[in-house]
Structure 1
C-alpha cells in the first residue's frame, strides 16, 4: 500500500483543497454573484457535457489503463498510445455531424420548459469533447504512476479559475452571459495543459496503425462506453430532467445540495486514481490473494474517512444552510439522501476497478443500463410531484440498487468480499455520534458554530476509531503522527 497511500494522501489533500474552493464557489459566489438562473444554466451545460463525454472519449481513458501494462515493447506502447488518442477524434466527427443535422429538433425539445438554454446548447458538445480528452491524457499520466498533477488540474485548477471568473463577474469585468462561455474555455485550457504534461511524461511518437489486440480493445471499449454513460447518467441525469419539468432555478438549488453531498465521495475519488492501475496489474497477474487484501483495505479505509466527512456535513447542515439565500433551504433533505447514496458507494472500496478489469464486466454493465431506465422513470414520476426532493429520492434509490448489484456480482463471481466486523463497528460508531451531535445546536454565528462542533466531532471520531482499531492502516498513520508529537493515548 506504499505508493497507494502516498499518492492517495496527496490526491486526498489536493481534492479537499479543490472541494474547499468549490464550496466557496457553490455556497457563496455562485448564488450571490451569478444568481440562480445563470448558476443553473452553467450547471446544466456542465452536466449535459458530462453525459456526452463518454461517447466522445470512446472509453479510451479506461482502455488505456487496462491494456497499457500489456504492452511489451516501446513500439507497442507508442502504437497503443496513438490509437487511444486518435480514435476518439475520428469517431467524434460523425457524432458532431449528427448533432448538427438534428440541432433544431434537439434544441426545441431541451428548451421547451426553459427557453434560455437554447442559445447555449452548442457549448455542450464542445465542453464534452474537452472533458473527454482531459480524461484520456489524465489516464496517460496515471499509467506512468503520475496521478497527482492531473488530479490537481481536475480538482483545484478548474475551480480556482471558476472562482476568478466569478470575481470577474462581481467586478463587472465580464457579464453573467460571458461567464458561461468562459467556463467552457476553462475546460479547454485544462485539457490542453494536461495534454502537454502527458507528452512530457512520455514523448509521443504517433503512428497511424492499429494495435495487434485492437479487437479486444474495441470490445472492452464498447462496454466501457456503456459503463461510463451509466455512471454519468446516474450522477447527472437528475439535473437534465429537472430542466424538463420545473423552472431552471431549481437546478441551482439542487446543485448546491448535491455538491455538499459529493464531498463525501472525495476520498474514493482520490484513492481511485492510483488504485485503479494497481488493481488492473494484480488481476492481470492473477494475484487474487493480494487483490482481496487490497479490496478490504480500501473498503474500511474509505469508510472511516468518508464516514467522518459525512458526519461533519450532516451534523452541521442546518448551520451551513443559514449561510446561503433562503430559497436554497429546501435542499437539506437532498443532502441527506444523496449523501447516504455516496457513503454506501464509498464503502465498496475499489469495487469498480475490480469489475472493469474482469471478463465478467459485461453483465453488470447491462444491469447498469436497466438502472438508467429505472432512474429516468423514477425521476419522471417523482419530480412533478416532489420537485428536487423527488429527484434526490430517485437518485438515492437508483445508485443504491446499482451499488448492491455490483457488490453481489464481485462476491458471487470472484469470491472477493470487502466487509468485516469492523464495517459494522464503523457504521454504529458513526450513527451514535450523529445522534449525539445533530440535535446539539450552538447559539452562535453559523461559521463559529460549525467550527466548534466540527472540532468536537473530530476529536470524538478519531479517538473512538483509534481505540476500537477500526482501520489498522489509519491507526498506523495516527501512531506515526503521535510519535512525532510525543503524545501518548
Structure 2
C-alpha cells in the first residue's frame, strides 16, 4: 500500500484543490457570465467529443495500462511501446472522423430546438475529440510509469484556472461567446500538449518506432484486448455522458446546462476513488501478472473501506448544504437541479462503496465478461433515459444514472466474488454507514439560522465532530484512526 498511499495522497490533494477551483468556477464565475443554454452547449460539446475520442482510441488507453508492465524497460525505450500506443488510435481517429462528418445531419436531427447552435460548432468537436484522446493515452502511459501527479495537476487545477479565465474574459466583454467556446476547446487541447512536454522533460518521450514492440506480446492479443476494452470503455462513457446528451436533445440545452451543474456538484464524491484508482489500475495489473491474489484481496477491502469513510462524509456534507451551495450561484434557474443532486449523490456513494470491482474485472484474465456487463448496461441506460426524461425531466436522468450504477456494481461485485472469491465488505462497512446516518441525522435536525452561511457552518461542524468522533471511538476505519492520532500528537507537541 506504500506507493498507493503516497501517489494517492498527492492525487487527493491535487484533486481537492481542483475541486475547490471547480466549485469557484461553478458557483461564482460560470453562472454569473453564462446563461443556462450556454452552459448546456459546452457540456454537450464535451460529451460528444468524449464519446468520439473513446471510439477513436480503440481501447488503447486500457491497453497502455494492462500491457505496459510487459514492455517496461527504460533503457530500451520501453521496446517502442509509446509509438504503438499512439499510432493505432490516430488511425482510428481518421476513420471515426470520416463517419462523424458524414453523419452530421443525423446528429443535428436529435437537437431540433438548438440545431443552429450545435451546427456552428460541429466541426470543432473533432478538434476537441483529438486532444481528449491524446490526453487519455498519455495519461494511461504515465499511470504505467507511476507518474500520475502531473497529469492530475494539469487536469484538476490548471485546466480549471484556464477555463475560469476564459469565462471572466467573456463576462468582461473581451471575448465573444464564440471566442469563449474556442478558448474552452483550446484549454482542453492545451493540457494534452503539456503532457507531451512533461514526458520529454522526464525522459520518457520515446517516439521512435521499434520492431521489438511486436515481439514482447503478440500484436493480435493486444488488438483483441483493445477491441474488448473499446466496447467496455465506450459503454462506460455512454453511461457517464448519455444523460447530458439526452436531456439536451429531449428537453433543451438550457436543461442540459442545469443538469451539468447538478452532475458537477455530485462529482465531489468521486475524488477519493479517482485519486486511488489512478495508481490502483497499474498496481492491479501487476498483481495479476504476479498472481498475487491474497494481496489484491486485502487491497480491495482496504480501498473500499477508505472510499466508504470519505464518500459518506462528503455525501452528507453536500446534501445537507445544497441550499447554501445553490445560493452562492445567484442564478435561480439552476436550482431546478437540487433534487437531481441528491439522487446523483446516492449513486456516487454506492459506486464508491462497492470498491474496485470494475478495475479488478477489466485487468483480470476474464476481462471479456466486463464487456457483457457494460454493453448491456449502456443499452439499459439509454432506454431508461428515453423513458424517464420525458416523464420526470432532469430527475429522470438522475434516476436513470442511479439505476445504472447500482446494476453494474451489483453485477461486477458478484462476478469478482464468484470467479475469484474476493469481496470488499467487512463488518466495518455497515458500521461506517450507521455512523454516517447518526451524524447526518443529527446535523439535519438542527434548526436553520437566519444566515445561510451560519447554518452551513453549524451543520458542517456538528456533522464533522460527530462523524469523526464516532469513527475514532469505534475504530471502524483503522487507517483514518491512525492518521487522526498522528495529527493529534503533532498538535499536542
TM value normalised by structure 1: 0.96
3-state secondary structure, aligned to 1:69: helix
Q: 2:221 maps to which residue?
A: 216
For residues 260-271 of structure 1, the aligned pairs below 5 Å read 260-271=265-276
Distance 1:329 1:216, change over 3 A: same
The alpha carbon displacement at 1:323 in A equals 2.6
Moved more, 369-378 or 65-74: 65-74
For residues 84-483 of structure 1, the aligned pairs below 5 Å read 84-103=85-104, 105-115=105-115, 116-201=117-202, 202-207=204-209, 209=211, 211-212=214-215, 213=217, 214-324=219-329, 325-483=331-489
The alpha carbon displacement at 1:442 in A equals 2.9
- Structure-2 separation of matches of 1:85 and 1:437: 51
- Structure-2 separation of matches of 1:199 and 1:137: 12
- Structure-1 separation of matches of 2:450 and 2:13: 29
Moved more, 426-435 or 73-82: 73-82
- Structure-2 separation of matches of 1:377 and 1:61: 28
The alpha carbon displacement at 1:206 in A equals 1.5
- Structure-2 separation of matches of 1:66 and 1:76: 18
Distance 1:88 1:479, change over 3 A: same
Moved more, 232-241 or 192-201: 192-201
TM value normalised by structure 2: 0.95
Q: 1:30 maps to which residue?
A: 30
- Structure-1 separation of matches of 2:315 and 2:147: 29
- Structure-1 separation of matches of 2:91 and 2:107: 25
- Structure-2 separation of matches of 1:438 and 1:49: 40
3-state secondary structure, aligned to 1:416: coil
- Structure-1 separation of matches of 2:277 and 2:72: 25
Q: 2:81 maps to which residue?
A: 80
Q: 2:70 maps to which residue?
A: 70
Q: Give yes or no for contact 1:48–1:124 (8 Å, CA) kept in 2.
A: yes
Q: Give yes or no for contact 2:57–2:92 (8 Å, CA) kept in 1.
A: no
- Structure-1 separation of matches of 2:145 and 2:263: 33
Distance 1:208 1:94, change over 3 A: farther
Distance 1:197 1:72, change over 3 A: closer
Q: Give yes or no for contact 2:232–2:374 (8 Å, CA) kept in 1.
A: yes
| Cα deviation 1:114-142 (Å, max 9, x = unaligned) | 22212112222221221111111112222
3-state secondary structure, aligned to 1:390: helix
3-state secondary structure, aligned to 1:442: coil
- Structure-1 separation of matches of 2:103 and 2:311: 43
The alpha carbon displacement at 1:34 in A equals 1.1
Moved more, 164-173 or 295-304: 164-173
Distance 1:72 1:31, change over 3 A: closer
Structure 2 stretches of 5 or more lacking a match?
none
Q: 1:58 maps to which residue?
A: 58
Q: 1:14 maps to which residue?
A: 14
Moved more, 331-340 or 319-328: 319-328
The alpha carbon displacement at 1:174 in A equals 0.6
Structure 1 stretches of 5 or more lacking a match?
none
- Structure-1 separation of matches of 2:167 and 2:103: 34
- Structure-2 separation of matches of 1:21 and 1:371: 33
The alpha carbon displacement at 1:72 in A equals 6.1
3-state secondary structure, aligned to 1:146: coil
The alpha carbon displacement at 1:76 in A equals 7.3
The alpha carbon displacement at 1:165 in A equals 0.7
Q: Give yes or no for contact 1:76–1:211 (8 Å, CA) kept in 2.
A: no
Q: What is the RMSD of the two structures over their aligned residues, measured on CA atoms?
A: 1.6
The alpha carbon displacement at 1:336 in A equals 1.1
- Structure-2 separation of matches of 1:59 and 1:322: 42
The alpha carbon displacement at 1:107 in A equals 4.2
The alpha carbon displacement at 1:268 in A equals 0.5
| Cα deviation 1:312-353 (Å, max 9, x = unaligned) | 011111222233322222212111111111111111222222
Q: Give yes or no for contact 1:78–1:204 (8 Å, CA) kept in 2.
A: no
